[in-house]
Structure 1
Amino acid sequence: MVDYEWYRSFIAIYKHNSVSEAAKTRMMTQPAMSQHLAALEAEVGEKLFKRISRKIVPTERGKELYSQLAPLIESLDMATMNLKGASLPTLAVVKIGTHHEFFNAKILPLLHKLNIRTVLEFSEAHQLLELLKDDKLELIITSQKVPTPGIEYLKLMDETFVIVAPESYAIPDAMDRAAIEKWLSAQNWLSYGLELPMIRRIWREHFKKRPLLRPVHIIPNNDLILRAIESGAGLGVLPTYILEHAADLSKAKIIFGELKVNNEFFIAYKLKHKHVSPIQEIIKILYEHI
């Protein structure tokens, strides 16, 4: 008799072309995953995968079985989740991941609109994606779109990055692009990271070169970068929503406003959760207000 878990393991192996990677996503050991596959192949009576180089690929019988099973497993998982949600007397819980600065500026003001309990995880984009893949999060809001099987991205908004200086900074007038680049290169800079994220993009898009800068301070927090700018520590590149959320806009200013770059923010979730009501409610509220 076929065990339902054999099907789920088969689906995971099919998606990842790897027994070891599938085992990680299902939080199983590799031998246990291999045992599931062997048992299913014995039941089917044919091999479902063949090894090519360092990965395994489905046989024709494997492809046929996947096309039959995938929509059924997805529907069953969705029905199970909805059943659990309906049976609970309390509000549904959704695990959401994003960057803490984005949460503070954009999502925190909307929490009172959610008829849902949330569990928040704050991390960088690549870590959020891994948590989503491992089912440790159900929805993430991220600035990186990495095509991944089984995960859907919806564009939420554009964010604009600008150069910000202390209000007391004297900015030269009537400079051409080359003179602006030379002046900026001579200033003290604050950066989110050693690789100069966003500073590098501004230089490439507007000056067509790499920045030759050595930041005086590396501060991996945009809110704190703004505070350091306000104190006169130097220049920085910040998203405009950080400035909009600032308590006091009199201590910092945008300079050379034409030297801006845009970045996209996405909502991402697993396709198996696409029609789950609490997730759809969160997405609706985010679109209405952000």
Structure 2
Amino acid sequence: MINFEWYRTFKAIYKTGTLTGAAQELLISQPNVSQHLSSLEAYICHQLFERQPRKMVPTEYGKLFYTQIVEAVEKLENVESDFRFACEKRMPLTCVGAPLEFFESVLAPVISQSRAELIFEFGLTKPLMEKLVKGDISFVFSTANGNEKNIAYEPVLAEEFLLVGSPGLDTSTFKKAINKEYYDKAEEWLMEQDWYAYSSDLSVIRRFWQANFQKRPVLKPRFVIPDYNAILKALSYGNGLAIASNYLVKDPLKQGRLKEVWAGHTATTNTIYLAYDKTKMATAQIKIVKDLLQEELVTH
């Protein structure tokens, strides 16, 4: 009788290319990996890999065998994971890291609809990802895609950066220059305005400027405020400009507390990822956190 673990081991060797990699992925010893593979090859009467010094190269039969079994194996793995997760009396406490402004604008309106118990931690992507790698938190809504071992990054939201201004700001000169494609004059006007920035390095402003003017901005912000919601609130009372994500400015624009000045002739975009340790998170647990975004999209 064939052992399901033999299939799982075969898939891990195929994906990692080594016995050592498969052992690390499955959290078993390398001798066990070798034993599983030998047993499977003996059972089906075919060699599945050519053993080379530094890697395992699938034979033609091995490639065919992989295409035949991989979908079924992954489905069974998901069923196993989901069943184990569903058998618990309560959903496990889940700690989610996110930028504060992302939580306030995107997650806060929908978290009450989640059936999980959630603990949120706020901060910048880099320190939050360090905690994720250490196992101190379960998920991170990340503004960047990294390559840490065992960490999966799933794109969950696309954001676009917009140039916005105070509601009373006179933008007629800028609009006229943009309509006539006088981008030098448009840039001159921008340089004369009061700017609100998230950080002194002008990271978002630089991206927007590079995409639309093909150069770095030579400007000094009048106000540096390390919180986007605070920036937008201050801007609504002031007389200046800022660049922020579309999900942050959506409501202030609708309510007339800000005005959209320019989306740029070239869109400046970024992807928000859901990051998690794929060796620790169950499929159902991942779905619960991803569904927060789905609820937000449906609601808005």
| TM above 0.5 | yes
Q: In the superposition, relative to structure 1, how do residues 278 and 211 fare at CA in structure 2: closer, same or farther (>3 Å)?
A: closer
Contact 2:94 2:116 in 1 (8 A): yes
The share of aligned pairs that are identical, in percent, is: 22
Alpha-carbon deviation of 1:107?
1.3
The equivalent residue for 1:241 is 247
Contact 1:165 1:234 in 2 (8 A): yes
Alpha-carbon deviation of 1:110?
0.9
Q: In the superposition, relative to structure 1, how do residues 188 and 51 fare at CA in structure 2: closer, same or farther (>3 Å)?
A: farther
C-alpha separation in 2, matches of 1:14 and 1:101 = 42
Alpha-carbon deviation of 1:25?
5.2
- The TM-score normalised by the length of structure 2 is 0.61
The equivalent residue for 2:216 is 211
Q: In the superposition, relative to structure 1, how do residues 279 and 243 fare at CA in structure 2: closer, same or farther (>3 Å)?
A: closer
- The TM-score normalised by the length of structure 1 is 0.63
Q: In the superposition, relative to structure 1, how do residues 41 and 288 fare at CA in structure 2: closer, same or farther (>3 Å)?
A: same
Alpha-carbon deviation of 1:11?
2.9
Q: Are residues 1:162 and 2:168 paired?
A: no
Alpha-carbon deviation of 1:238?
0.7
Q: Are residues 1:273 and 2:283 paired?
A: yes
Provide, for residues 234-265 of structure 1, a one-character-per-residue CA deviation record: whole Å limited to 9, x for no partner. 7431123323466xx88x74463353735365
Provide, for residues 31-65 of structure 1, a one-character-per-residue CA deviation record: whole Å limited to 9, x for no partner. x654343233333354636559x865433344344
Alpha-carbon deviation of 1:178?
1.4
RMSD: 5.1
C-alpha separation in 2, matches of 1:65 and 1:97 = 40
Higher mean alpha-carbon deviation, 185-194 vs 58-67, is at: 185-194
The equivalent residue for 1:39 is 35
Q: In the superposition, relative to structure 1, how do residues 154 and 243 fare at CA in structure 2: closer, same or farther (>3 Å)?
A: closer
C-alpha separation in 2, matches of 1:152 and 1:178 = 39
Higher mean alpha-carbon deviation, 197-206 vs 109-118, is at: 197-206
Give unpaired runs (5+ residues) of structure 1.
none
Corresponding pairs, count? 274
SS at match of 2:89: coil
Higher mean alpha-carbon deviation, 73-82 vs 56-65, is at: 56-65
Contact 1:47 1:62 in 2 (8 A): yes
Q: In the superposition, relative to structure 1, how do residues 203 and 169 fare at CA in structure 2: closer, same or farther (>3 Å)?
A: same
Give unpaired runs (5+ residues) of structure 2.
none
The equivalent residue for 2:264 is 259
SS at match of 1:203: helix
Higher mean alpha-carbon deviation, 277-286 vs 95-104, is at: 277-286
Q: In the superposition, relative to structure 1, how do residues 289 and 6 fare at CA in structure 2: closer, same or farther (>3 Å)?
A: same
C-alpha separation in 2, matches of 1:58 and 1:126 = 40
SS at match of 2:216: coil
C-alpha separation in 1, matches of 2:226 and 2:23 = 34
Contact 2:91 2:116 in 1 (8 A): yes
Contact 1:17 1:55 in 2 (8 A): yes
The equivalent residue for 2:205 is 199
Higher CA-based Rg: 2
Alpha-carbon deviation of 1:154?
7.0
Alpha-carbon deviation of 1:70?
2.7
